[in-house]
């Protein structure tokens, strides 16, 4: 986990309410993954800006399972460990599309307001 | 019930699977971290410690994940029950005392409440029983004395407050001609009594307006139990006679269900008719009281003043010794329970206090 140590924990960004779930969906867009893999993916993709706390990750996974946006299946990982792999369901893909456009608009609007006046 | 239970079991079963699966999952996660640490050349022990630190508080993760399934309330209830059962088994003597104390307390409360329900709260078994009013007369000395026939006739004909009104009284008569002479109980009523109490005939008919007329033949409506007991449940009974105090009465009907209006059960009903004196003199009292059904929306006070207006008019038209008499009217429910209401309230309050004392004693 050398990459994780590149920034001290308290300088990284906390996740906004509701963002973690859409990030999880995004991480599963191309391939199924287990919880540890998801947290690594999110840290790497955000250049370690996001701190993904297991205390938030697991409840979020449970919520997504409940909404049937993801499904879980036990498989053996490449290094021979049994792990629960999550994959997007059809409803999950639809939700990802919807949420992506929403968060993009949100980010653009935030940036417009916060940008220094030119 | 069984289906419900199996549903609960299934839900809890899923819950257990869920917990199991989550535990395995977290374990796998930890293994990934350990593997990675080992790859970096840590000792097994060190790899384990570092992985656990990296992972964070495993219990918190588990608890939060459970909470997202919204079960913990039920879970904690079950835990409480388990805890309670364990406590009972651990201290059986104490538990027995507590259980007995509570049982006696609950029993006393239930007994008193059942009585209160039967006496005070249970609605009268008549249609619109809450609008039934008990009528009598009052003077300076007494209230609720009997209504004279002439006053009753005027009330019934001229009031604007009631849908129907019936006179009633009871008496004892000797039945002869059917085995041994027997003392029997009669309810004397004017014809609307059965309408007011919602009674129906099982055979034949009940009283109609013509039964109230003194010159009509003497008729009788018998209760089902009297019909079965004294008249051998004769299906052809209509038109036959019974002899009461030496007079013959033609049976015109058998009641389907006795209204149970009179405090002492009656065997049959006879038309209530005035004596010659009662029909002639306004102040000739008998034993008759009246039962009446308030029109919806009319208050008791309004009905009283309505009846009093009639009495005042009569006093002017036909002055007599009872011109100061006024109408006495109370709801039938109050009239029946007025005296005992306070006693019961007191009883209930004391039982509740005792209950409270028991409960506090047991809890502390």
pLDDT at A2: 39
Q: Using a CB-CB distance cutoff of 8 angstroms, which residues of chain B are in contact with residue A3?
A: none
The partner residue sitting opposite B61, judged by closest CB among A2, A36, A58, is: A58
Quick one: what percent of chain A has pLDDT higher than 70? 84
Residue A94 to chain B, least CA–CA distance (Å): 22
- B276 and B150 Cβ atoms separated by less than 8 Å: no
B24 contacts chain A (CB < 8 A)? yes
Mutation site for B-interface testing, chosen from A54, A63, A69, A71 by largest number of B Cβ within 10 Å: A54
Question: Over chain A, what is the mean pLDDT?
Answer: 84
- B191-249 tens-digit pLDDT: 999 999 999 999 999 999 999 888 899 999 999 999 999 999 999 999 999 999 999 99
Helix/strand/coil (H/E/C) assignment for every residue in B227-257: HHHHCCCCCCCCCCEEEECCEEEEEEEEECC
Q: Which of A61, A63, A84 sits opposite B28 (nearest CB)?
A: A84
Residue of A nearest to B61 (CA): A55
Residue A47, classified by CB atoms within 10 Å of its CB into exposed (0-12), middle (13-18) or buried (19+), is exposed
Q: Which residues of chain A have a CB within 8 Å of the CB of B28?
A: 34, 36, 81-84
Interface size, chain A vs chain B, as Cβ–Cβ contacts under 8 Å: 63
From A62, A79, A81, residue closest to B68, measured CB to CB:
A62
pLDDT at A4: 43
A117 versus B58: the higher-pLDDT residue is B58
The partner residues of B164 in beta bridges, in order of sequence, read: B293
Question: In whole angstroms, what is the distance from residue B158 CA to residue B36 CA?
Answer: 104
Termini Cα distance of chain B: 36
Contact B25 A35 (CB under 8 A): yes
Pinpoint the alpha helices (H) of chain B: 2-39, 44-55, 58-67, 72-90, 92-116, 149-158, 193-196, 224-230, 276-280, 300-317, 332-337, 341-363
Measured between CA atoms, the residue of chain B closest to residue A4 is B54
Where is B320: in which H helix or E strand?
none
Regions of chain B with pLDDT less than 50: none
Instruction: Give how far Cα A98 sits from Cα of A21, A25, A31, A93, B247, Å.
Output: 13, 11, 19, 9, 96
Give the per-residue pLDDT at B153. Answer: 93
ipTM for this prediction: 0.78
Could you tell me which chain B residue has the CA closest to the CA of A38? B29
B46 at A interface, C-beta within 8 A: no
Rounded CA separation B63/B54 (Å): 18
The kind and range of the H/E element at B143 are strand B143-145
Confidence band for A9, pLDDT divided at 50, 70 and 90: low
Q: Measured between CB atoms, which of A34, A54, A55 is closest to B28?
A: A34
The three-state secondary structure class of B167 is strand
Asked if the Cβ–Cβ distance from B64 to A53 is below 8 Å, we say no
Q: Give pLDDT, residue B3.
A: 63
Q: Which of A54, A63, A79 sits opposite B68 (nearest CB)?
A: A63
Contact flag B33-A66 (C-beta cutoff 8 Å)? no
Task: Report helix angle B149-158 to B300-317, nearest 10.
Answer: 120
Contacts of B250 (CB under 8 A, 6+ apart): B217, B218, B219, B220, B239, B240, B241
- Band the pLDDT of A3: cuts 50, 70, 90: very low
Which residues does chain B have within 8 Å of residue A77's beta carbon, measured at their own beta carbons? 32
Q: What average pLDDT does range A78-89 have in this prediction?
A: 89
Task: Locate the chain A residue with the closest alpha carbon to B34.
Answer: A1
Give the per-residue pLDDT at B13: 63
Q: Does A84 contact B56 at a Cβ distance shorter than 8 Å?
A: no
**Residue B25 to residue A81, Cβ atoms within 8 A:** no
**pTM of the entire structure?**
0.54
- With beta carbons under 8 A apart, name residues in chain A contacting B68: 59, 62-63, 66
Identify all chain B residues contacting A35, using CB atoms and an 8 Å cutoff. 25, 29
Residue A19: pLDDT band (50, 70, 90) is: confident
**Residues from chain A contacting residue B60 (CB–CB below 8 Å):** 55
Q: Considering only alpha carbons, which residue of chain B is nearest residue A63?
A: B68
| A102/chain B closest Cα distance in angstroms | 24
Q: Which residues of chain B lie closer than 8 angstroms to A66, CB-CB? A: 68-69
Higher pLDDT, B16 or A70: A70
Region A75-100: what's the mean pLDDT? 91
């Amino acid at each position: 986990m050398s990459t994780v140590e590149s920034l001290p924990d308290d300088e990284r960004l906390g996740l906004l309410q509701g963002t973690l779930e859409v990030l999880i969906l995004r991480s599963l867009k191309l391939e199924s993954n287990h919880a540890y893999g998801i947290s690594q993916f999110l840290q790497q993709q955000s250049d370690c800006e996001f701190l993904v706390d297991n205390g938030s990750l697991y409840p979020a996974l449970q919520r997504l399972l409940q909404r049937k946006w993801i499904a879980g299946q036990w498989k053996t990982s490449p290094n021979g460990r049994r792990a629960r792999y999550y994959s997007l369901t059809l409803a999950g893909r639809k939700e990802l599309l919807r949420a992506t456009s929403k968060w993009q608009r949100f980010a653009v609007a935030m940036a417009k307001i916060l940008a220094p006046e030119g | 019930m069984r289906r419900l239970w199996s549903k609960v079991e299934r839900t809890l079963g899923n819950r257990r699977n869920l917990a199991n699966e989550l535990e395995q999952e977290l374990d796998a996660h930890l293994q990934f971290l350990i593997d990675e640490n080992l790859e970096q050349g840590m000792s097994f022990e060190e790899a384990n410690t570092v992985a656990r630190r990296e992972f964070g508080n495993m219990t918190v993760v588990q608890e939060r994940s459970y909470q997202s399934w919204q079960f913990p309330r039920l879970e904690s209830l079950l835990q409480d029950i388990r805890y309670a059962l364990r406590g009972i088994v651990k201290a059986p003597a104490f538990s027995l005392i507590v259980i007995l104390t509570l049982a006696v307390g609950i029993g006393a409360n239930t007994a008193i409440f059942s009585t209160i329900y039967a006496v005070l709260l249970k609605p009268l078994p008549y249609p619109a029983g809450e609008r039934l009013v008990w009528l009598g007369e009052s003077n300076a000395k007494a209230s609720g004395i009997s209504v004279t026939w002439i006053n009753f006739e005027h009330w019934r004909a001229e009031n604007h407050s009631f849908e129907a009104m019936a006179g009633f009284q009871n008496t004892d008569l000797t039945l002869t001609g059917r085995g041994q002479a027997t003392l029997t109980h009669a309810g004397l009523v004017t014809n609307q009594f059965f309408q007011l109490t919602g009674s129906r005939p099982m055979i034949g008919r009940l009283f109609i307006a013509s039964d109230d007329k003194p010159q009509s033949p003497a008729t009788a409506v018998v209760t089902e139990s009297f019909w079965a007991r004294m008249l051998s449940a004769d299906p052809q009974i209509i038109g036959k006679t019974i002899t009461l105090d030496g007079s013959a009465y033609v049976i015109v009907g058998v009641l389907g269900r006795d209204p149970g209006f009179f405090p002492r059960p009656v065997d049959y009903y006879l038309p209530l008719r005035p004596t010659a004196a009662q029909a002639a003199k306004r102040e000739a009292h008998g034993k008759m009281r009246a039962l009446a059904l308030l029109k919806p929306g009319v208050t008791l006070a309004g009905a009283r003043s309505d009846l009093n207006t009639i009495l005042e008019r009569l006093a002017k038209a036909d002055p007599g010794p009872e011109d100061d008499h006024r109408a006495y009217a109370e709801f039938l429910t109050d009239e029946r329970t007025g005296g005992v209401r306070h006693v019961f309230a007191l009883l209930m309050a004391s039982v509740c206090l005792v209950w409270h004392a028991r409960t506090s004693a047991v809890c502390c």
